[in-house]
């Protein structure tokens, strides 16, 4: 499950499928609107160029800190000072609320600027370290992904941010299996095409009609006036789909 701070740092998106479609969402108005709405924060959208620069710098430092903790390094005094400085930039008011589980003390952000947002992100990261375990912070083992998450499993062995990326990583780690799977898929697609062609040819023969067409195919020219066989139909359709199967 995403936390405030993981949602923020993962605005630096990397395509986990390895298609080189990485994207920095931080500067996009749609992402900014969705982020502050989801986490019930207040800030002007879009962020100014100065605010965007401060947000990106803060994100880079927080990513680096999360990476150090994920590698088993403790939170240093310098890291604590940095987090404290960021949290001091945002003011909060304390409010006592009654809920289904009894009384709860809430901290309500006062500011309505991105500086306040960064303070809340820093505070959420600090809560993760204090109430959880910094060693549970993970970076997805899929090198194309690099998604940062918190491992809340009992075994503390989660290496991937979700099962789909885990499956994909296994596929990339076994190129022979991936090649064999692709071969089976190609055979399956060709079989489907062949069945379609046979159905079309059967309909043509039933109506006792001829199909005339001129097209260069893998087996040569289909001249005007030729009645197309199943094999020639297959080659024509294969050519139309680009020979990609």
What residues are paired with 99 via a beta bridge?
Answer: 102
Among 1.10.3430.10, 3.40.605.10, 3.80.30.20, 1.10.3300.10, name the CATH number for the domain at 4-163.
1.10.3300.10
Helix (H) or strand (E) holding 97, with range, is strand 92-99
Residue 87: the pLDDT is 95
The β-bridge relationship of strands 102-109 and 137-139 is unpaired
Residue 132: the pLDDT is 82
Residue 99: the pLDDT is 82
Question: Within 10 A of 211 (CB to CB), how many other CB atoms are there?
Answer: 13
CA distance 84 to 123: 9
Residue 242: the pLDDT is 46
pLDDT along the chain (245 residues), means of 10: 88 71 87 95 95 96 94 93 95 88 86 93 94 83 77 71 52 51 72 82 62 46 50 56 45
The three-state secondary structure class of 153 is coil
CA distance 61 to 56: 9
CB 151 within 8 A of CB 31: no
Residue 225: the pLDDT is 45
Helix H, strand E, coil C: the string for 191-220 is HHHHHHHHHHHHHHHHCCCCCCCCEEECCE
């Amino acid at each position: 499950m995403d936390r405030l701070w993981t949602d923020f740092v993962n605005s630096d998106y990397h395509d986990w499928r390895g298609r080189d479609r990485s994207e920095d969402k931080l500067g996009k108005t749609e992402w900014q609107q969705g982020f502050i709405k989801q986490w019930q924060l207040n800030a002007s959208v879009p962020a100014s160029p100065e605010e965007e620069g401060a947000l990106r710098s803060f994100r880079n430092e927080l990513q680096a800190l999360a990476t150090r903790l994920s590698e088993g390094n403790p939170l240093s005094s310098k890291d604590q000072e940095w987090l404290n400085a960021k949290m001091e930039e945002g003011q909060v008011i304390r409010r006592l609320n009654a809920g289904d589980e009894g009384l709860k003390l809430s901290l309500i952000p006062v500011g309505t600027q991105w500086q306040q947002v960064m303070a809340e992100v820093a505070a959420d990261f600090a809560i993760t370290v204090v109430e959880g375990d910094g060693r549970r912070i993970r970076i997805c083992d899929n090198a194309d992904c690099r998604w940062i998450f918190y491992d809340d499993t009992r075994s503390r062995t989660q290496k991937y941010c979700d099962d789909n990326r885990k499956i994909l990583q296994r596929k990339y780690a076994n190129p022979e299996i991936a090649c064999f799977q692709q071969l089976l898929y190609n055979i399956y697609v060709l079989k489907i095409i062949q069945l379609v062609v046979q159905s079309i040819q059967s309909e043509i023969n039933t109506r006792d009609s001829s199909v005339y067409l001129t097209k260069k195919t893998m087996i040569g020219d289909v001249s005007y006036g030729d009645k197309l066989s199943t094999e020639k139909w297959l080659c024509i359709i294969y050519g139309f789909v680009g020979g990609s199967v």
